[in-house]
Structure formats: C-alpha cells, structure tokens
Structure 1
Amino acid sequence: METPSPYHPPVKRSLSIAGHATSISLEPLFWDMLKAAAAREGLAVAALVARIDAERIKAPTPPGLASAIRVWLVVNGPPAQSVAG
C-alpha cells in the first residue's frame, strides 16, 4: 500500500467542544498527529481539542482553533528526529 502524500488539502471534521458543535479543518497529517497525541494523553480527540482551546483563549491575541492545534502539536509532540548530515 502506498503512503499518502503529506501535501493534502485540509479535511473538515465536526467535534463538540464545551457542549458546542464546531468544525475544524486540518490536513490529514495533523488529524493523525492529533489522534496519536490524544491516545498518549489518554483522552478522546474532542477532550484534547477542548483543552487546547482553553489554553489558546488565554493568549493575549488568541489564534484560530486550527492554528492553535497545529502549534500545540508541534510544541507538545514527540521530539523531532535529527538527520545526520
């Protein structure tokens, strides 16, 4: 089976955050990272997104939710592997 390209347009999914339905558009790569992060944290994806949302709204200039999720994943994801060169 061929690995899908990471260059894929965003995919919109609906989640319930704090009792409100919301749609979030993320590239499939970020959806996969979000699912893995939620599993590591022992949370449902919606619960992790709610936590990220609560953190983001405390920022002096809160970014959009999709942007906050991407930043959170980069900051809190597994460490990047170094490439020997």
Structure 2
Amino acid sequence: MSSPYHPPVKRSVEIAGHKTSISLEPLFWDMLRSAAEDESVPINALVARIDVERIQADTPPGLASAVRLWLVARLQGAAHAE
C-alpha cells in the first residue's frame, strides 16, 4: 500500500441502473474492495447498499462521506468483536 496521504481518486460506480462517480482516497478504495470481497458482492452492489442506508439517515451525508463512514463503522465493529 502506498502512503495513506494521497489525494482522492475519482471512479465510476453504478447505483440503481445509473452511473455516478465517487472520489475516495486510495486507502478507502482498497478498504471498499476488501469489504466487497469479504461480503462476496461487487463493489457496485455494496455502494448501492451504503447509498440506501445513507438516504434513510436524518441528515444524509454525501455518498463519498457515507462510504468512508460505513468503512470506519465496519472497522469499529470488527474491533469490538475481537
């Protein structure tokens, strides 16, 4: 892995049949890829699920922020499970 201090990289994803782009730092892209592999789903499907959860929030963050928050919450859940 390269330095965690890298500017965001924009990538396209497809959610509910439409394409959008998300800008995430490479560290978060790596974490998202790993999470999708762990759950045996494509990255697009995982991002779509995060998007549904995000939209249901009282004050929904942007999609990139929601992905980062979801990944951190996942890490915290794993740490508490140990």
RMSD: 1.2
CA offset at residue 76 of structure 1? 1.1
Structure 1 unaligned segments of length 5 or more: list them: 81-85
Inter-partner Cα distance in structure 1 for 2:21 and 2:10:
6
Over alpha carbons, which structure has the higher Rg? 1
Off by >6 Å, runs of 4+ in structure 1: none
| Correspondence for 2:34 | 36
CA offset at residue 79 of structure 1? 2.3
Structure 2 unaligned segments of length 5 or more: list them: none
Equivalent residue runs for 1:42-61 within 5 Å = 42-61=40-59
- For this pair of structures, how many residues does the alignment match? 78
Provide TM-score, normalisation by structure 2: 0.90
Inter-partner Cα distance in structure 2 for 1:68 and 1:76:
12
- Tell me the percent identity: 68
Provide TM-score, normalisation by structure 1: 0.87
Give 1:71's aligned amino acid: L
| Correspondence for 2:6 | 8
